Chains A and B, each alone.
Chain A
């Protein structure tokens, strides 16, 4: 294993994994406690339209994904807050339209789309340096936003109605939160791919939630779990010669299931034990 890290692509992969874990650990906690997993999944999938547009107009597909993810976050936020359309219907519409646009754009771009698989399913071993720089910048933006709006996002997630009563700009903060999800999607897209992004956002945070009731600790734990999963998954994919993104997701999904299983067993034993 050690000799693997002497290669530059391995070092890049580790840095990319680290940066991805920071974004997904922090934003993932809000996604889980605010229960916007499907909404986040929709934003992630809609970003495929941007990847397609990048191929078609010959600019960076990651940049295209960022534009589409941010636009869909804005749209979702406005639709959820300003119209009577049920939220899950809006989620389904945006999810499908974004993906369909991507397919059409790629089809129009003379049928040749190099690296398409790596955008869909991720390839941590081929993350270019330019994307690593972008990931680092987005991480900084996310961390700054969470520090500045910590008390606001806490109230937003816990009790929106009370937030309105005490004069919080609830709708604006909700849209800002969705935009942070959009940025997280962009950070993760190279590592696990847009289709698996939602798992990487949800799993480490959901696992961290099993161990603490303190949001800050939950974020730190989620970042740590994200790193462990990324590196262990990467090592598994190296040893077993499997796709890296899918290995990372499967490993974290299994750990999460085992953790829920243990928690369920413990709860049963506690009920059976004489009080």
Chain B
């Protein structure tokens, strides 16, 4: 195995019943990469993240994260799940949600201590949400909730950050702030972000992969119309009408 690979997938297949979700995926993510994975809904993007987390076991192929199995490397991964997967009336404060990210460090029988609370406060400060630490999670706007879930992922000081559709419910004004935050974070960690928002992703990430059951990735930010067509299984004009190829190739 090549050293320096943060994530390495080799010939990974995942089936849900008779449906193939991931077909022969090969992926290598290097240290300090900021990789965006785009593709249509149902194209297996979330499944791919779950394979990296060890939440979904591949039927075939090998997965290595930070040189180990996903399960063993989990405490070095920060995960921001797809928004709205939670009960908005759930009786929990912002600070308590962020502390959940310290669970791996605390372990089963040890309660959270002062250092956990301080780490949670720092993580909230980082995403400019410290002032809301006492609020109930459901009373925040969706953009603010997104920041809290990022803080929950950051509080364990991860080496790899996985984001599943982080901008899906965030309004456009908040999105710019959000990408600026990621801009800072990518100096400290490797980031893999999944999104169907091609435009925004292509401006901010360093490398792009296209995914629709199969993965199209050449370790760069260049996407050809042929790859987009293969990913979306429909005429390219539909996707490219926003001049995507130009945005993809930010001047450099």
Q: Contacts A33-B87, A33-B91, A155-B103: A167 and B79 contacting too (C-beta < 8 A)?
A: no
In-complex Cβ contact of A155 among B100, B111, B156 (8 A): B100
Residues of B at the A interface (CB closer than 8 Å) are 53, 55, 74-75, 77, 79, 81, 85-87, 89-93, 96-97, 99-101, 103-104, 106, 108-109, 111-112, 136, 152, 156
Q: Report the interface size for chain A: residues with CB under 8 A from the other chain.
A: 26
Closest 4 CB pairs of A and B: A213-B136, A166-B103, A166-B104, A213-B91
Contact A165 B100 (CB under 8 A): no
Q: Is A101's beta carbon under 8 Å from chain B?
A: no
* Chain B residue with Cβ nearest A148: B109
Contact A213 B108 (CB under 8 A): no
Complex-state Cα separation, A158 to B94, whole angstroms: 12
Q: Contacts A154-B96, A163-B103, A167-B75: A215 and B91 contacting too (C-beta < 8 A)?
A: yes
Complex-state Cα separation, A127 to B40, whole angstroms: 63
A50 to chain B, nearest CB (A): 31
List of B residues within 8 angstroms of A155 by Cβ = 100, 103
* Chain A residue with Cβ nearest B97: A158
A 125-166 contacts with B by CB, 8 A: 148, 150-152, 154-155, 157-159, 161-166
From B75, B104, B108, residue with most partner A Cβ within 10 Å: B108
Contact A168 B108 (CB under 8 A): yes
Contact A166 B75 (CB under 8 A): yes
Q: Is A212's beta carbon under 8 Å from chain B?
A: yes
Between-chain CB contacts (< 8 Å), 30 pairs: A33-B87, A33-B91, A150-B111, A151-B106, A151-B112, A152-B108, A154-B92, A154-B96, A155-B100, A158-B86, A158-B87, A158-B90, A158-B97, A161-B81, A162-B81, A163-B103, A164-B55, A165-B53, A165-B74, A166-B74, A166-B100, A166-B103, A166-B104, A166-B156, A167-B75, A167-B104, A168-B103, A168-B108, A169-B108, A209-B89
* Chain B residue with Cβ nearest A168: B103
Complex-state Cα separation, A27 to B114, whole angstroms: 28
List of A residues within 8 angstroms of B96 by Cβ = 154
Q: Is A115's beta carbon under 8 Å from chain B?
A: no
Contact B109 A165 (CB under 8 A): no
Q: Is A191's beta carbon under 8 Å from chain B?
A: no
Complex-state Cα separation, A98 to B109, whole angstroms: 34
Complex-state Cα separation, A167 to B97, whole angstroms: 16
List of B residues within 8 angstroms of A35 by Cβ = 87
List of B residues within 8 angstroms of A169 by Cβ = 108
Complex-state Cα separation, A166 to B86, whole angstroms: 17
List of A residues within 8 angstroms of B136 by Cβ = 213
Residues of A at the B interface (CB closer than 8 Å) are 33, 35, 148, 150-152, 154-155, 157-159, 161-169, 209, 212-215, 218
In-complex Cβ contact of A165 among B55, B89, B111, B112 (8 A): B55
A174 to chain B, nearest CB (A): 14
List of A residues within 8 angstroms of B53 by Cβ = 165
List of A residues within 8 angstroms of B89 by Cβ = 209
List of B residues within 8 angstroms of A148 by Cβ = 109
Contact A214 B93 (CB under 8 A): yes
Contact A166 B85 (CB under 8 A): no
Contact B100 A158 (CB under 8 A): yes
List of A residues within 8 angstroms of B92 by Cβ = 154, 158, 213, 215
List of B residues within 8 angstroms of A154 by Cβ = 92, 96, 100
Contact A151 B91 (CB under 8 A): no
Complex-state Cα separation, A159 to B97, whole angstroms: 10
* Chain B residue with Cβ nearest A150: B111
Contact B93 A151 (CB under 8 A): no
List of B residues within 8 angstroms of A152 by Cβ = 108
List of A residues within 8 angstroms of B79 by Cβ = 162, 165
B39 to chain A, nearest CB (A): 21
List of B residues within 8 angstroms of A157 by Cβ = 90
Complex-state Cα separation, A214 to B111, whole angstroms: 17
Complex-state Cα separation, A149 to B5, whole angstroms: 37
Complex-state Cα separation, A152 to B103, whole angstroms: 8
In-complex Cβ contact of A159 among B100, B109, B112 (8 A): B100
List of B residues within 8 angstroms of A33 by Cβ = 87, 90-91
Q: Told that A158-B92, A167-B103 touch, could you supply 20 new A-B pairs with CB distance under 8 A? A: A33-B87, A151-B99, A151-B103, A151-B106, A155-B100, A158-B87, A159-B86, A161-B81, A161-B85, A162-B79, A165-B77, A166-B100, A166-B101, A166-B104, A166-B156, A167-B104, A169-B108, A213-B91, A215-B92, A218-B91
From B99, B103, B112, B152, residue with most partner A Cβ within 10 Å: B103
